[in-house]
Each structure stands twice: as structure tokens, then as C-alpha cells.
Structure 1
Amino acid sequence: MTTRDSHESAVRGGTAMSAHPGTTSKAVNITGWVLQVVLALLIAPGGLLKLIGDQAMVDLFSDIGAGQWLRYFVGICELAGGIGLLVPKVRALAAVGLFLLLVGATITNLFIIDESPVLSSLLAVVAAVIVYLRRHELPIKRS
């Protein structure tokens, strides 16, 4: 293998990769972990508040009008997603799930409860970046 071949195998799809397929560089891995921990620390407590019945959360989901079952569902998803981000075997799937949940939250903020979508949008972007950085861990068949 020439130096050029080595370099080409080390850079794939615009992200730095190690010479071993399916593994990421140290910088990409550290960035992923920092984003995962930050997102987990921002999401999981909100999920816990929903599950314990914090009055602000009960009122929020009453305003949404879909019933309190949705508060429990979202709380479970947020708590599981926050924990999942810290478990290497499921972190990519957790990020996908949180991304979808946060897109739903953004839509709800915009069109149903007339709240600012800024926080949910920013968190969705963070989740999307994690998905991108961990995409090689997703259970998707590649040809």
C-alpha cells in the first residue's frame, strides 16, 4: 500500500477515519462522546420530570391536548435516549430516536403550543451530528 492509498483509506466521506474500516479517529470519537454526554445531560432530566409528574410538565402536555399518556411516552423516550447515548452498543440508535423526538418537539412548539422552537431545534442538530459521527454503528446493510 502506498502513502497515497494509506491516506485515501484514512479519509472517507469527508470525515477522518483510522486505517481500520468501521472505526473513527480519536478526535471524532472524543467529539462524539462530548456531544453525547451534553445531550444526555440536557435530555434525561426532562424525561425524569415528565415521568414523576412535575406540574409544569403536566400543564404543558395538557396544553398540547394529546393526553397525559404522551407525557409518559415522551418521558420514557427521553430517559431511555439519554441513557442510551452513554451505552456504546446503542448510542447511534439512541441518537436517531432522540433526533426524531426532537423534530416532533420542534413541530409541536411551532404549530401547537406556540413556544420557541430554538432549544428543541438546536438539540435536534446535536442529535443529528451524533448520528452522523456514529453512522458506522447503525445496523444498516451496506453494499
Structure 2
Amino acid sequence: MTAITAPAQTVTTSAKIRNRVLWTLQIVLGLFFVIASGGPKLVIPQTLMANESAPVAIPLALLVFIGVAEVAGGIGLMVPKLSALAAGGLSVLTLLAAGTQAFLADMPGMAIFPLVLSAIFAWIAYERRDSIAALRATLSR
């Protein structure tokens, strides 16, 4: 009797598709966090605070720190060796943003987008977990 095995080409094609989907997500979300989310917090933080209509007041230093974390995470998503760490950090950051929206700002409907982003970043971090070992090997030289 012979065993039936899946052709190697199918596995390779599936891995290539997954890799392309991951890189597309990483680039789009990285650009989003650099340009649309973190960038304005660094360029015009006083204007953002003046136009804030949320019931939670965010100190200027915290707003700038969040902006730096978002820009660094967005850039890290687009660097192959940093992608898993950046995705893990952004997953935590967006999870905390969802908690802030749901519990402190008392707007649980606004927490859905950060929760979805947190799940996407956790998936990216899981799929790119090999880059952590590569980074560790690079740093230990």
C-alpha cells in the first residue's frame, strides 16, 4: 500500500499566500500607525488636546508617549526582524486603548476597533515568532 501525501507545491503555495497576506497587513497597519495614528500625536499634540471631546483628560506627556510608541510600533512592523516584537507591543497598546475606551471613557462601542486591531496584531506576532529568535541571534553575536 502507498500512502497519499499532499504535494509539496500546495504547502509552499499556502505559505507564500500567508506570507503575502501578513506583509500586506503589516505594511498597511504600519503606515496607518506612523501617519494617521501616532504621527499627529507627535506633530500637533496641543491641538489634539484642545479638540478633545472625550470625558477622559489625557496628560500631554502621556499623549506624546503613546504617539512615540505607535510610531515605533508602526516602523517595527515593517522591519522583518522587529515585526513580531512590534506586533506584540501594538497588541498590548491597542488592548489598553480598548480598555480605556470601554471603562474610563464609558464608550464601549468605541472599543471594538482597538480590540480587532489587538487580535490582528496578536496573530501577526504569533505568525512572525521566528523573527524573535533571529533577533536574539543577531544581538548575541
Q: TM-score range by the shorter chain?
A: 0.7 to 0.9
Relative to structure 2, which stretch is displaced further, 102-111 or 51-60? 51-60
Residue 52 of structure 1: aligned partner: 43
Percent of aligned pairs with the same amino acid: 34
* Two-structure CA RMSD over aligned residues (Å): 3.0
Q: Indicate conservation of the 8 Å contact 1:61/1:71, yes or no.
A: no
1:61–1:67 contact (8 Å) kept in structure 2: no
Shift of 1:77: 0.5
Question: Contact conserved, 2:38 with 2:67, CA < 8 A, in 1?
Answer: yes
Residue 65 (structure 1) aligned to one of 51, 57, 60: 57
Deviates further, 42-51 or 96-105: 42-51
Among residues 85, 88, 109, which one is paired with 2:80 in the alignment? Answer: 88
Aligned counterpart in structure 2 of residue 133 of structure 1, from 104, 127, 130: 127
Instruction: Indicate the residue corresponding to 2:29 in structure 1.
Output: 39
1:76 matched to 2:61: no
TM-score of the aligned structures, taking structure 1 as reference length: 0.73
Partner of 1:13: none
What whole-Å deviation, never above 9, does each CA across 1:31-87 have from its counterpart, x for those lacking one?
210110121132222101001125563244985335111101100000011111111
- The alignment of Structure 1 onto Structure 2 pairs a total of residues equal to 126
- Partner of 1:90, secondary structure, is helix
Unaligned ranges ≥5, structure 1? 11-15, 19-23
Cα distance in 2, alignment partners of residues 29 and 132 from structure 1: 13
Task: Tell which deviates more after alignment, 48-57 or 29-38.
Answer: 48-57
Say yes or no: does 1:105 pair with 2:97. Answer: yes
* TM-score, normalised with respect to structure 2: 0.74
Separation of aligned partners in 2, 1:85 and 1:64: 29
